Chains A and B, each alone.
Chain A
Amino acid sequence: MTVNRPSRPQPPNRSSGGGSSPELPPKPYEFVSFPTERPNLQRPIGHHKYFSDRLHGTLYLTLKVQTPLHVSTGVVVMGSDIGQKIPLIKTMVQGVDQKLSIQGSSLKGCIRSVYEAITNSTLAVITNRYRDKIPPERLPCRHKEQLCPASRVFGALDWQGLLDFNDAKCENISFSTGFMPSLYRPRPDERGAYFIRGKVAGRKFYYNTFKAIDKGQNSGIPVQQAGREYIFTTQLHFKNLTAEELGTLLIVLGQDAKYPMALKVGGGKPIGMGTMTVNIDKIHQPQNLKQRYSAYNLNQSDELTGEKLQQFIKEKIQAAHSRLIQKPQLEELAAILRYPTDREPPSGMY
């Protein structure tokens, strides 16, 4: 007999469109408005050479799980397949060594969305149904000669980006099981907050909260997850970045002390899941490409750590603030993604 079948959920009360109804808790998300100016479209720099006045190298990142994380494979398996007693469970990607991993594409999507929001960029993908509701200057970049700031760094249709993400691998061998309540699809047609004057209001981001809701075995959907304090490591290669582009990336990774943010990755965002803080362990950055390409054995002194690393990060963030960052959008976003936080996740149906 199945013991953990969730009770059939009742759909949220549709008559409360607009979210103003007092009996419902506030929505766990907010919109980051679009900048008022049009995005500045430029020719991307390209991959054909390493420019001496640009930055190339690798960021070594440690991601620490703050609230349970579930990046779904989209596959539900029998619990016995992954050594669990429960009948069915939604799985995460596991590597050959059975360690959990976060797909590079998930990480990239999460980081790109924040980067887009705090620079004056277009949307990368849109739902065709709402095409006419999107301000024309925010439609995805179509011409590879004219790309918005985010597309120049992360890529666009027919154009490869300057960042290479890798799968993030878990250092812990085990995993935990969580029980998520039923979540519902977004309802833009019922809830007015998605639109302002007939156009979309901005980019949607979920708040970081200090804990996640776990429904318990009898009323939740079982998911394989990385529990609190789990550590993931990954590398992020970059080439031909300007100082302000790298600085913006570092702000997104929560390295600006004035805007402490955490990433929000994977499933269960409304109920507080998926908060991850980032630590930059070191940056590998060849000082001199001529040297790199005139000797076979590599110079170990190209690694930035400790004090030097902090100085480097500070400089790049400074450059980002003076040239690329949209301050109002950063302020709005930092209020949503702020971490540490004392915000509670919504307990009931929101």
Chain B
Amino acid sequence: MHKRFVNHCTIDLTLIPDGPMLIKSGKEGADPTKPDMEFVETYHAGGRSIYLPGSSLKGAIRAHAERIVRTVGEDKPNSKKLPWANDPLSDKYNYLENKSAPDIYKLSSFTDQIFGNTSIASRLRIEDAYPDKSQPLKIEERNGVAIDRVFGSVAVGPFNYQVCTAGEFKTKIHLKNFTLSQLGLIGLVLRDLDDGWFGLGFAKSRGLGTVQVKLNQATVQYPGCVLSEDKRQIQAIGSQKQWNHTYLLGAGEFLEIHEARTYGFLKENSTEDRQDTPVAATSMDLGFGVQLTWRDGTVTDLFERAVKSWSGLLGVSR
């Protein structure tokens, strides 16, 4: 089913260092005036600048998403139908061998369904976060030293490292063919990142890596749909399906019910993956496709609604 494109969500966000942070480049340049540990750099917008690589962001987001799922769900497939997260580093994935595409998706853990595994691609994509030119970027050097607690003298070092203490990094997260509970989980991860429950990059346990998350805008698109003439209905092209124009729709809604179930989009006891929102759908550019947009300050509303579907999956009625 993933050869079709049913829905897509883009979350536009800004990461603001809340104290020092360092994503190490892992290489030490030949320039002796540079610190022992440098920030990753790339060419961007006509010059060299530091940035937060998408891979670093995705790793941190995935790790926390898995942590949440294991905390309130399970770490193995279970009979209670709770979401589960495997250990992707040591999972041999033999339960996915010689399976059909729907089965591979269905048998993969909840987090693998979002972030991918050796048999399915990731449905979440995150862009590198580049510094916003309009905000001054501040980079400084810090020194550290390890103290021997027996003699009180220097055991290792001194060593120095580069940190970024101010600036704004802009990035986007894209989710395609998502279910609302997947979107809800991403919302919870971003909330926790903003709350300081996990950090990014080097030396998380000693003061580096906490950021503030500013949610700028979110767009949810249904490329295979059009708005009805009176703009009160979202209609699927080539099918009888239609929905109210304010509905946030998960992937399961766009499929015939038996197909949705073969992928495990809809659980046996539920028939819908939708939430009503205060946002009205508009047409996408080029005449077809429908989109809902949450502007600055209202993106949390999107997550609140998606988290309702997520908590439904946990069996918590809200």
B304–A296 touching, CB < 8 Å? yes
| Chain A residues near B (Cβ < 8 Å) | 29, 47-50, 52, 58, 73-75, 93, 95-96, 103-105, 107-109, 113, 116-117, 123-127, 130, 134, 154-155, 160-161, 163-167, 185-186, 188, 194, 200-204, 206, 235, 237, 269, 289-290, 293-298
Given A161-B205, A164-B205, A237-B196, 14 other A-B contacts at CB below 8 A? A104-B203, A109-B146, A123-B148, A125-B148, A127-B153, A127-B155, A165-B205, A186-B151, A186-B152, A201-B150, A295-B318, A296-B184, A296-B191, A298-B191
- What secondary structure prevails in chain B residues at the interface with A? mixed
Q: Which of B69-77, B102-110, B168-176, B270-278 contacts A (4 or more CB under 8 A)?
A: B69-77
Contact of B311 among A125, A154, A294 (CB under 8 A): A294
Q: Which of A103, A130, A297 has the most CB of B within 10 A?
A: A103
Whether A203 and B67, one on each chain, are in contact in the complex, defined by CB atoms closer than 8 angstroms, is: no
Q: Is the CB of A50 within 8 A of B71?
A: yes
Beta-carbon contact of B149 and A116 below 8 Å:
yes
Task: Tell which of B114-122, B126-134, B206-214, B217-225 binds the partner.
Answer: B206-214
CB-based contact B143/A293 at 8 Å: no
CB-based contact A126/B142 at 8 Å: no
Which of A74, A75, A163, A201 has the largest count of B CB atoms less than 10 A from its CB? A74
Do B310 and A125 touch across chains, with their CB atoms under 8 A apart? no
**With the chains together, A336 CA to B300 CA distance in Å?**
51
Asked if A108 and B146 make an inter-chain contact with CB atoms under 8 angstroms apart, the answer reads: no
CA distance A126 to B155 in the complex (A): 6
Q: Is the CB of B67 within 8 A of A48?
A: yes
CA distance A116 to B311 in the complex (A): 42
A52 to B155, CA, bound (A): 38
> How many residues in B have their beta carbons less than 8 Å from beta carbons of A?
55
Instruction: Collect the chain A residues with CB atoms within 8 Å of residue B199's CB.
Output: 164
Can you pick out 8 interface pairs between chain A and chain B where the beta carbons lie within 8 Å of each other? Answer: A75-B143, A289-B71, A289-B72, A293-B71, A294-B72, A294-B311, A294-B314, A298-B195
Q: How far is the CA of A269 from the CA of B218 in the complex (A)?
A: 53
Shortest Cβ distance from residue B194 to the other chain A in the assembled complex, whole angstroms: 11
Choose one: B145, B149, B188, B208; the contact of A104 (CB below 8 Å).
B208
B197: CB under 8 A from chain A? yes
* Chain A residues near B307 (CB-CB < 8 A): 294-296
User: Given A235-B196, A289-B71, A296-B304: A188 and B151 within 8 A (CB)?
Assistant: yes
Are B197 and A237 closer than 8 Å at their CB atoms?
yes
With A50-B67, A58-B196 as given contacts, are A125 and B147 in contact (CB-CB < 8 Å)? yes
- Cβ–Cβ < 8 Å partners of A116 in chain B: 149
- Contacts A104-B207, A186-B152; A295 near B147 (Cβ below 8 A): no
CB distance from B188 to the nearest CB of A (A): 6
Which of chain B's residues have a CB closer than 8 A to the CB of A75? Answer: 143
A95: which B residues are within 8 A, CB to CB?
165
B297 at the A/B interface (Cβ < 8 Å)?
no
- Chain B residues whose CB sits within 8 angstroms of the CB of A123 once the complex forms: 148-150
CA distance A127 to B145 in the complex (A): 12
CB distance from B56 to the nearest CB of A (A): 15
From the candidates A117, A206, A296, A298, name the one contacting B187 in the complex (CB within 8 A): A296
Q: Are B207 and A103 in contact (CB under 8 A)?
A: yes
Tell me whether B112 is interfacial, beta carbon within 8 Å: no
Q: Quick one: given A164-B204, A165-B205, are A290 and B149 in contact (CB under 8 Å)?
A: no
In the complex, what's the smallest C-beta–C-beta distance from A269 to chain B, in angstroms?
8
Q: How far is the CB of A201 from chain B (nearest CB, A)?
A: 8
Q: Please, which residues of chain B bring their CB within 8 A of the CB of A29? A: 152
